[in-house]
A and B are shown apart, each in its own frame.
Chain A
Amino acid sequence: MSQALSFLRNPLVVALALIVALLVLGNALSPGFASGQQILRLLIVAALLGIVAAGQNLVILGGREGIDLSVGGVVSLSAIVAGNAMNGLDAGIPAAILACVATGAFFGLLNGLGVTLLRIPPLVMTLGMLGVLQGLLVVIRQGVPSGRAAPALSEFVTRPFLLGLPGIIWLWIAIGLLMAFILNRTVLGHRIYAIGSNEHAAFMAGVPVRRMRVLLFVLSGVFSAIAGFCLLGYSGSSFANVGEQYMLASIIAVVLGGTPLSGGKGGYTGTMAGAVLLVILQSILTTINIEESGRQMVFGATLLLLMLFYGRGRGLRA
């Protein structure tokens, strides 16, 4: 590929171009698809996914087969915790936030300790944790009422707040800026990339590799918890396993955003675009009038096609 076209290799550019193309396509298939209202609705859904994917992104960037399959479980649990903590009252929101963050951090910490101290592969550790979380959800829902969102929270997620955008979009933008800042302009960010691209060299240069890895899992838990908190505001009340859909979707958003599962390269801006792309794609498929079965097939095939743009491994022959 010539130099002039090399920007086409940039995952962010590809994702943005695909987003525009899909919006045009969606509008052609169903006029009004790309209206302001619709796009706003899509962005809210994308924000929820994007916040989960922020934590997923960090864990994946840290390398050593880093992946967090327990995010969906944390999202669901956090939504329930938040619902019970606020129980429909605005006054309960601060306590709910604290409870959510503590929950996410706790399970993230367990994942991180399992992965570092016991050296259990992340896929296995977080898969096992997912099983525990799903069990815990059943226990909680049997024991206590599942709780409702406070009006302020629902408003934060669904009602315009500033410049016509709801609070959750601003929150997502803030998280995006924060992630970009951390990854590019802090020593912490440099260290995340360092352990992801050459863990041993990072260790020899004094990077506290284990502590870093634990931190990444904790952050993943916290981001999932924040997403669960917001999800409660989006749906009004928490119900069974609302978070389940986020497990693989968050991984796909990261991959479509140009962060390979092997870690050490990529960033969150691409992931945000990946999340939007994924949500728009799903939305188009719900818009067009076909059976659920056909929708799934098109979705799966499109995902494969998108992955062909990037995320392909190197050939064996140098």
Chain B
Amino acid sequence: MTATPSIAREGRGGFGALLDRFPFLPAIVILIVLLVLNGLFEPNSLSFRSLTGLVRTYMALMLLAVAQTYVVYAADIDLSVGAIASLVNVTIIVLMQHLGGGGLSVVAALGVGVLVGLACGLVNGFVVAALRLQAIVATFATSIFFTGLALTILPVAGMPAPTAFWRTYGGSFFGIPFVFYCVAVLAVLLYLLARSRLATQLLAVGDGQQAAFQSGLPVTAIRIGGYALCGVFAALAAFCITGDTASGDPLVGAKMTLFSVAAVVLGGSALSGGFGTVVGSVIAALIIGLINALVFFAGTPSHWQNFVQGLAILAALMVGILVSRRGRA
């Protein structure tokens, strides 16, 4: 009686176990394939300079994907990450402008920016977890609200960032581009968060809210914690957007929300919660960047680029989902 199930499980082989530990494996394979293809079409695209540019541009999406991942851990979703990023973007731009644009003003503005992100996250967590509204529609409603706030702070796009700010983001220190320091800090941060009680608890809630509740976990507080974390990472994403575009735009993040969801799925996390990694989401954000680059380098006529990008992302999503399911089924 005890023998049959274990035999059945061996048939699944080592691949399943590997995917359990590293759900982002399919994403890594796709990433490598894309890098190779990019190199074939445009050898220059693999130069250090190009890759730095790629990371610099897609750092914001990486952070937004990370932000989204923490709420998806708990089987929630946040359609307001882009709006939060926009709000933080205009907040820090306006603050830096008001405070004179010096080094201290930048630091103060960034501090406020993180707090704004945190506050937005707490609002989301409150409406979804405490008021028990449906996450998709509730965070869409808050995204409208946050966009309104952003428009209040800066009605039209265009206010420039202080030179010191974007020069730092685009610059190099000791021969290493600043963004790579950001990547290093992000890596440490993600490592620490992976060891946090909150991350484990979020995943447990995502695996089954009722079971988590019955285990005595403070489910509502944990979900709010997930949204708070999401808000903070959305704020960090806003810093990168600001460094990359060097200006304020109250609608800059809107387009990125759905990409963040796509990146989470592409990175091997399950939208149904309980399973996934932030590393996968970061890789997936790069994949989206590389797809866009590849479509360009492959010489696609300009008006076909969006279409081909869309098709490629859809195909990548399908492949990612099918491969990880085959491994785990």
Does chain A touch chain B in the assembled complex, meaning CB atoms less than 8 Å apart? Answer: yes
Inter-chain contacts of A121 with B (CB < 8 A) = 265, 271-272, 321
Q: In the complex, how many angstroms separate the beta carbon of A62 from the nearest chain B beta carbon?
A: 16
Within 8 A of A (CB), among B300-320: 303-311, 313-314, 317-318
Contact with A along B117-145 (1 / 0, CB 8 A): 00000000001000111101110111111
Q: In the complex, how many angstroms separate the beta carbon of A295 from the nearest chain B beta carbon?
A: 7
Inter-chain contacts of A123 with B (CB < 8 A) = 77, 261, 271
Tell me whether A124 and B307 are in contact in the complex, defined as CB-CB below 8 angstroms, given that A294-B152, A295-B148 are known contacts.
no
Q: Is B171's CB within 8 Å of the partner chain A?
A: no
Of the candidate stretches A89-97, A147-155, A187-195, A301-309, the one touching chain B is A301-309
Q: Is the CB of B271 within 8 A of A293?
A: no
Which listed residue, A119, A136, A248, A293, touches B155 by the CB 8 Å rule? A293
Of the candidate stretches A14-22, A222-230, A310-318, the one touching chain B is A310-318
Which listed residue, B155, B305, B314, touches A132 by the CB 8 Å rule? B314
Count of chain A to chain B residue pairs whose CB atoms are closer than 8 Å in the complex: 160
Q: In the complex, how many angstroms separate the beta carbon of A123 from the nearest chain B beta carbon?
A: 6
Q: Is the CB of B321 within 8 A of A308?
A: no
Contact with B along A97-133 (1 / 0, CB 8 A): 0000000000000000010001111011101111111
Q: Is A252's CB within 8 Å of the partner chain B?
A: yes
Q: In the complex, how many angstroms separate the beta carbon of B157 from the nearest chain A beta carbon?
A: 13
Q: In the complex, how many angstroms separate the beta carbon of A217 from the nearest chain B beta carbon?
A: 15
Q: Which of B79, B140, B143, B318 has the most CB of A within 10 A?
A: B140
Q: Is the CB of A300 within 8 A of B142?
A: yes
Residues of B that sit less than 8 Å from A by CB: 77, 79, 127, 131-134, 136-138, 140-152, 155, 209-210, 213, 219, 258, 261-262, 265, 271-272, 303-311, 313-314, 317-318, 321-322, 325
Q: 9 closest A-B pairs (Cβ-Cβ)?
A: A135-B307, A300-B145, A296-B148, A297-B148, A293-B151, A128-B314, A131-B310, A300-B144, A142-B303
- 7 A–B contact pairs at CB < 8 A? A135-B306, A138-B306, A139-B306, A252-B137, A260-B134, A261-B137, A311-B133
